[in-house]
C-alpha cells in the first residue's frame, strides 16, 4: 500500500536459505498415534497446523494422519531405528524427505507483506507457533510462523528458483516504497 513507510537503505525483508537438516514424513492411523508417540519419543499434535517441540525435534501436524518431523542430525538414526522396532506392532510409514524441500527463512517488518504477494491464504491470521500448507505463487509450500515477523517456508527443491525469483521481484517492489 502506498502508505507504507520505508527505509531505503535496508532490504525490505531478510531472506535466508536454511542449511540441510533431516526431515521425515510420518503417517500413522489416528488410533495408533499415542502408541507411536511413546515409541518414537515424539509429541504428535492432533490438530492440523499445530506444532510440538520435544528435545530438538519439531513436529507439525499436516493432516489427520500426517506429520512432518524435523529431527537434528544427531537424532536421525535413532528415530529410524525406533520406527523399525515398533513397525510390527504399530504399522506406520516413516519416509525420509530431507532432500525434497529446501527451507527459506523470511524475516523483518515486511516479511509478511512479501508473503502476501504469493500466498492466497490469510498469512496475517496464521498464528505464531503454527504452520500451514499453502501456495506461494504456483508452488506448494509449507509456511511456518515463528514470530510476528519471522517465517519459514519449505519449498520443493525444483520450485525454489522460481520462488526466489518472485521474491526478488517483490523485494525490488517493496524497496521502491510504493
Q: Which is nearer to other proteins, 98 or 107 (CB)?
A: 98
> Rounded distance, CA 27 to CA 166, Å?
33
Q: Which is nearer to other proteins, 55 or 169 (CB)?
A: 169
Tracing cell 538414526 back to the chain, one arrives at 77
User: Is 176 an interacting residue with respect to other proteins (CB under 8 A)?
Assistant: yes
User: Is 34 an interacting residue with respect to other proteins (CB under 8 A)?
Assistant: no
SS3 per residue for 23-76: EEEEECCHHHHHHHHHHHCCCCCCCCCCEEEECCEEEEEEECCEEEEECCHHHH
Q: Which is nearer to other proteins, 9 or 125 (CB)?
A: 125
Residues near other proteins (CB under 8 A): 1-3, 20, 25, 27, 29, 65, 87, 91-93, 95-101, 113, 116-125, 137-139, 156-159, 161-162, 165-166, 169-170, 172-173, 175-178
Amino acid at each position: 500500500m502506498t502508505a507504507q513507510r520505508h527505509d531505503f537503505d535496508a532490504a525490505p525483508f531478510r531472506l535466508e536459505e536454511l542449511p540441510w537438516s533431516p526431515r521425515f514424513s510420518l503417517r500413522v492411523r489416528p488410533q495408533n498415534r499415542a502408541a507411536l508417540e511413546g515409541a518414537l519419543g515424539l509429541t504428535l499434535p492432533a490438530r492440523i497446523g499445530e506444532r510440538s517441540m520435544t528435545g530438538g525435534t519439531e513436529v507439525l501436524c499436516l493432516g489427520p494422519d500426517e506429520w512432518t518431523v524435523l529431527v537434528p542430525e544427531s537424532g536421525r538414526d535413532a528415530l529410524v531405528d525406533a520406527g523399525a522396532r515398533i513397525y510390527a506392532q504399530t504399522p506406520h510409514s516413516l519416509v525420509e524427505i530431507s532432500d525434497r524441500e529446501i527451507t527459506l527463512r523470511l524475516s523483518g517488518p515486511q516479511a509478511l507483506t512479501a508473503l502476501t504477494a504469493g500466498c492466497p491464504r490469510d498469512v496475517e491470521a496464521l498464528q505464531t507457533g503454527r504452520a500451514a500448507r499453502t501456495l506461494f505463487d504456483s508452488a506448494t509450500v509449507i509456511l511456518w510462523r515463528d514470530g510476528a515477523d519471522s517465517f519459514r517456508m519449505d519449498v520443493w527443491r525444483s520450485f525454489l528458483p522460481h520462488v526466489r525469483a518472485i521474491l526478488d521481484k517483490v523485494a525490488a517492489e517493496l524497496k521502491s516504497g510504493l
